[in-house]
Chains A and B, each alone.
Chain A
Amino acid sequence: MKKVVKGFWLLMASLALIAPAVCHAEEAIKIGYIATMSGPGASLGTDILDGFKLGIRHCGDKLGGMPVDLVVGDDQLKPDVGVQVATRLLEKDKVDIVTGIVFSNVMMAVAKPITDQGLFLISANAGPSPLAGEQCNPNFFAVSWQNDQTHEAMGKYLQDKGVKRLYLMAPDYQAGKDALVGFKRAFKGEIVAEVFTKVGQPDYAAELAQLRAAKPDAVFVFYPGGMGVNFIKQYAQAGLKEEIPLYTTAFMLDQSSLAAMGDACLGIMNASFWSPDLDTPANREFVADFKAAYNRLPSLFAAQGYDAALLMDSAIRAVGGNLKDQEKFRAALRKADFQSVRGKFKFNNNHFPIQDFYIRQVVKNEEGVLTNKIVATAFTDHADAYHEQCPMKW
C-alpha cells in the first residue's frame, strides 16, 4: 500500500515537471479586453466584443499565428473601476496587450497606468482629444476615430449644403460639448440656439416645444444610447420630423439602436466613418459573416472591434509573437498592414486614423430591416484637429 502511495506522489511530481513544458509549446497571446459590459451602456461593449471575436475567427482562431487567450473585464462605465480592472489584468492575469474601452472618461483614467507598464493599448472606440494632442502616447493606438471627427463630418455636409439657421442640442457632459465643438469647427452658419440637457434625461417634450417655436432650418443633435432612442421617438411623435430636418452622427443611429426606434428613425441622416453597405471586399465579408454568426447586422462598433483584431493580427505576425520588443511592435502597428473594413486605412503621427467620412441615411433593406445606407461622402482622408499638437513624429 505504501508503495502505491509513493508511486502516486512520484507520478504527480513528474506530471508537475512536465506540465510547464507542455504549456510552453502552446504559448498563447493573452489579450485583455476592457469595456462597459454591464449597466445601461453595455450594448456597445458587447457589440465591439462580438466584432473582435469574429476578427479572431477570421484570422484562423489565432492572432498573428498564435492561439488567443481572451480575458474580459467590465469597467461598469466608472473610471475608477476601469483602473482596478486594468491593474488586475496587468498584474494577476499578466496580459500582453489591452484593447476595448468604450467611454472616453474611462479611457483617460486607464491609458496611463496601462502604457506606463510598457503595454500597448488599442482603443476600439474612445478617442478623447487629449490623447490625440499633447498627451499622445507611443504605446496608444486608436483603431476607431478621434471623438470630434464624425461631428465635423456632419458640420461639413450641412455647410456645403448651405443650411443657414441651425439649432443644436446635446447632453450636458464632456462628450456632448465636444460633439458640438467638433460640429462647429466645420459649420459656419448661424446657430439659433445651443441647448444642453441633463445626462440621461428620458423626456424631451419641453425642449422640443421650444425648438418648434424657434423655427430653425435644421437641427443637429448628439444623443448616444438610450437618450437617442428617446429623442428620436419623441421627435417623430411630435410631428417635427416632417417640419424640421434632423441631422446627427452614427453614435445615435447605430445598428443596435435602430430596432428600438422603429420607423421614427427612417430617413434621418447621420455621419459615420463606416456603413454596412460600404463596398469594400473586407466589409462585404465582415457583414455577411457577422450576420451568419450573430443573426443580426453589425453596428459601427462591431466594425471597430473587428478592425482592432485584424490590426493586432498583422502586428503580432510581423514581430513573430514577441511583444516585448516595443520598438518593433510599435513599428508594426504603425504600418497598419491589414485589410480594414473601411478599405484604405492609415495612422497619423498621433496614432489616430486618417480616414474617409460618409453621410448615411436610415432606410429599410430588402428584408424590411432598418439599416443605414451611404448617400454622400463628407471627407476624404480626414485627419483630426489635434494631431499637430502631438509631439510624436515618425
Chain B
Amino acid sequence: MRKLFVYDRPTLLRKLAIVPPFIWLALFLLVPFLLVFKISLADLRFGIPPYTPLTTLDNETLTLGIHLSSYKLLFTDSLYIATYISSAKMALVTTLCCALIGYPMAYYIARANAKARHLMLLAVILPFWTSLLLRVYAWVGILRNDGLLNNALMALGLIDAPLEIYRTDMAVYIGLVYAYLPFFILPLYASLVKLDNRLLEAAYDLGARPWQAFWQVTLPMSLPGVMAGSLLVFIPTVGEYVIPEMLGGADTLMMGRLMWTEFFNNTDWPMAAAVTCVMVLILIVPLALLQYNQASQYEPEKRRGNH
C-alpha cells in the first residue's frame, strides 16, 4: 500500500515539486510571448520604449490603444507577403533535401553492426556539438566566386567561369541543409533502430521483394521519426537568421531576417513584434504537431503489472 501512496496519489509535496520549472518557463517563455503580442498592437513612437502603451489612464478615462497598422502592412504589402512565401518555400525545400539525404543515411546507420553504428552515429552528432556559426562560415570559403569549389572545378576543366553560388538562394539552401541534417537523422535513426527485424524477415518469408518490404514495413514504421525530423528541420528554418545573413544575397527573403531588420535597423519594435506573431502563426500547426509527437514520447511509463 505504501508504494501506491507514494506513486499514485498526488500529495501536496508532489504538487509543489511541479512548480519551480513551471514558474521559470511561464516567466521567461509564456509571459514574454504574450508581451510580444501586446507590443505588436502598439504604434511606433519616439522615446523609451519606442512604442505606445496599450492602456493609458487620463482624466479618469482608461483608453485602450490597439493599433493594427503593423498588421495591415504585413497582410497587404507585397514584399512582406513574398517573404512569407519565400520562407515557407525555403523551409520546405530544405526539409525535403534533408529527407532525401538523411533517410538513407539513417537507414544504413540503423542497419549497421553495433560497433560501426556507434561510430557512424557519433560522426553525425559531432558536427552538432561544434559551433554552427563556424561551420556555416566554412561554406563562405568554399562557395565564393574565388572559393575552393570554383577553383577545383576550374582546375578540373569542368567549368570556364566561376559558378555564382555565394550570396544566392542556392548557397542558403546548402547552408540550411548542412546545418539541419543531423536534426533530421537523429530522431529518424531512433525510430529505425527500434524496428523489429523479425517483421522484415517475415515479409521476406512471405515473398516480398526488398523494395516491397521497405515500402510496406520499414517506411510506415519509421513515419513518426520522419515526422519528428521534418518538424525539427522545418520549424527553425522558417525563422533562421544567421545562415541567410552569411550566405544569402540581399534579395534572399526570410522572415527571421526581416524581423531582425525591422528591429535592429529600422528600430520599429511594433513591426518586429508583429512579424514575430505572424511567424508563430505560420508555425502554430507544425509546433502543435511537434508537441503531439513529443508528448507521445513523454507519455508516463506504463505501470508495471506487479502491484
- Chain B associates with chain A: no
Interface residues of A (CB under 8 A from B): none
